[in-house]
Amino acid sequence: MESVPPIRFTLGRQSSMAPDRGSGSDSEDEEIDGLDAIDPRVRLMFFSSEGNLDGIKELLDSGTDVNFKDIDNRTALHVAACQGFCDVAELLLEGGAEVDPKDRWGSTPLADAIHYKNYDMIKLLEKHGAKPLMAPMHVKNAREVPEYEIAAEELDFTDSVDITKGTFTIASWRGTKVAVKKLGDELFTDKDKVRAFRDELELLQKIRHPNVVQFLGAVTQSSPMMIVTEYLPKGDLRPYLKRKGALKPFTAVKYAMDIARGMNYLHENKPEPIIHRDLEPSNILRADSGHLKVADFGISELVKVTEKVKKEKLMSYSDTTWRYVAPEVFRNEDYDTKVDVFSFALILQEMIEGCQPFFMMSEDEVPKAYVANQRPPFNAPSKCYAHGLKELIEECWHENPEERPTFRKIITRLESTYYSINRRRRWKVRPLRWFQKMEMMWKKEDSERSSRDRSSHI
């Protein structure tokens, strides 16, 4: 029997775990030119790299081994996974391709799909039973498992729904409803993000404040990795403001104090402050107690800084709204905790005005207006901005970040405003209560007088 010489398929993207190789050479061009004369198994791999469905069907119908491996143990499914051709992968799998073959470096089609960030391919392979890879934070020694670790099988997603801009999902954990955020597949391919996420979890488990959503734990030893936090059924502030419109000054100030206290706790975290960077109504949740809690400062929003955050260290703002983002961020300048103060000013004004900042402008126009030092107008009656609220808002969204107050100072001023409004409310309520009390006494006396009159008549 004639021996078949070893074959190495070197076209297109190579194994995610293999040493770097070029994607083209003169010898490869010659192979393509004489395609009909090439081993049909190599042609299967070539067609898989090119997305040639008709060629693949013809080869499979003629009996070509769909699970053929080259000298590196690479299969046609490996090739399709690298290229991201889902239709090719589907055809190969229907033709009997093994879903989890390993090449000489231990890479599977799923591993290659993750490496090249072919997310649709990842979903397809998992649908066909590909075994998920160990999570990037997986440890071999049980003693190294983090204290905050939650077993994935403890989370029940039956009848779950998306909440908080779709980034969190409701689940049941040990009989309690929780909010779960599943982390993207990009963590598998970005070691810097994995390292940042590990540091972040160490920090999150230490955060304890009544105005910050409580971190309960995380799934890090299996895929997908997840963050688990307390679930607040009343939802976030965005739909509440949309439904209520302008809030009464007393309520707006009360809510503003909750937000400021939560943010002050994050900013005064030791040894490094925590910048939220995405402070806006949909990231502020309403507790059953009537108070607000700052939320969703996960892997895409939480940043630890020593002095200022350099723009090259920042993550994308593509998943958030620019209506609440400070101008220095839009200008790609260095920034610090004062970006959250800017966002806070817009939220406070929105609660009083009853409409989003620059609601008449498109999302793209708003940050340009901020850069041009334009700010949303004060249209509400002046009495709604009593006790220095307007001045506080103007200071918080000042063009120069250094002129913006800290949240500690903001809390002091809001408390003064709150007590002033509350004192005035009590004085308004007292005469009404006195009248109601006197009316009850009069009714009681009339009733007693009528009763005596009936008694004397008898």
What is the chain's Cα-based Rg?
32
Tokens of 137: 């934070």
Tokens of 110: 């799923």
Residue 237 CB burial class (10 angstroms; 0-12, 13-18, ≥19):
buried
Place of tokens 């609220």: 389
Backbone torsions φ then ψ of 361, nearest 5 degrees: -95, 155
Picking from 413, 164, 422, the residue whose alpha carbon sits closest to that of residue 300 is 164
The one-letter amino acid code at 280 reads E
From 70, 72, 278, 296, active-site residue: 278
Active site residue 278: yes
Active-site amino acid positions = 278
